[in-house]
Amino acid sequence: MCLRCALYEHLFLKLYLVTERLGQFMTEISRLFEAVEMLRKHVKKDMPSQHISLLLTVSQHPGATMPELCELLDMPQGTLSRNVKALSSHVGRSERLASVQGLDLLYTEQDKTSRHARAVFLTEKGRMVIDELTAVLNPGLQPKKKSMPHGRLSRMVGDSRLMHLASN
């Protein structure tokens, strides 16, 4: 085989491999887009990226304490506390404002090793959101628990918002 033919063959092989990788990359981008759209549609339309990062981190580190999450997420303690509250079931109440309903994706409890630290966990609804995200991002991977039917999550979110409106 001549040198020129070998060079062309090598270039075509490289081009094929790059094209194949680009196709895989585009598939991953599409899955990420679907995951973001699932969160927007079923959880909250304008869910901040800090909330998404926190939710995913807690799913990977259930029971992590607030200081551990601060370190894992490189987030100040005050910011983390606000984000955990927003993803919890009840954000708070002030004298002038009505009670604010959270997204009910996380809950906290006193850490077993330190009475001053709070451990953060996924609620059942939070686990369902993570299972659905896993199904979108890894279509061939079966979730550990049965995933929620497609419309159930949006009904749960809608119900919690209705309960909030009814309590005001």
Q: What is the pLDDT of residues 103-147, one digit of tens each?
A: 999 999 999 988 889 999 999 999 999 999 998 888 877 655 544
What's the whole-number mean pLDDT along residues 17-36?
91
Are 135 and 128 a contacting pair, CB within 8 Å?
A: no
What pLDDT shows up at residue 91?
Answer: 64
Q: Which residues 6+ apart lie within 8 Å of 149 measured at CB?
A: none
Residue 76 has pLDDT above 90, yes or no: yes
Q: Rounded CA gap, 73 and 65, in Å? A: 12
Phi and psi at residue 137, in whole multiples of 5°? Answer: -80, -30
**What are the respective helix, strand and coil percentages of the chain, to the nearest 5?**
60, 10, 30
Residue 86 has pLDDT above 80, yes or no: yes
- State pTM to two decimals: 0.67
Token pair for residue 101?
Answer: 């309903």
Residue 152 has pLDDT above 50, yes or no: no
Token pair for residue 152?
Answer: 């159930």
Calculate the CA dihedral of residues 41, 44, 50, 55 and round it to 10 degrees: -80
What pLDDT shows up at residue 149?
Answer: 43
The domain ranges of the chain are 3-167
Residue 4 has pLDDT above 90, yes or no: no
**For the domain 3-167, what is the CATH code?**
1.10.10.10
Token pair for residue 115?
Answer: 């009475």
Q: Does residue 43 or residue 97 have the better pLDDT?
A: 43
What's the whole-number mean pLDDT along residues 157-167?
40
What pLDDT shows up at residue 154?
Answer: 42
Q: Which residues 6+ apart lie within 8 Å of 73 measured at CB?
A: 50, 53, 54, 57, 80
Mean pLDDT of the chain: 82
Residue 2 has pLDDT above 60, yes or no: yes
What pLDDT shows up at residue 160?
Answer: 42
Which three-class secondary structure state does DSSP give residue 106?
A: strand
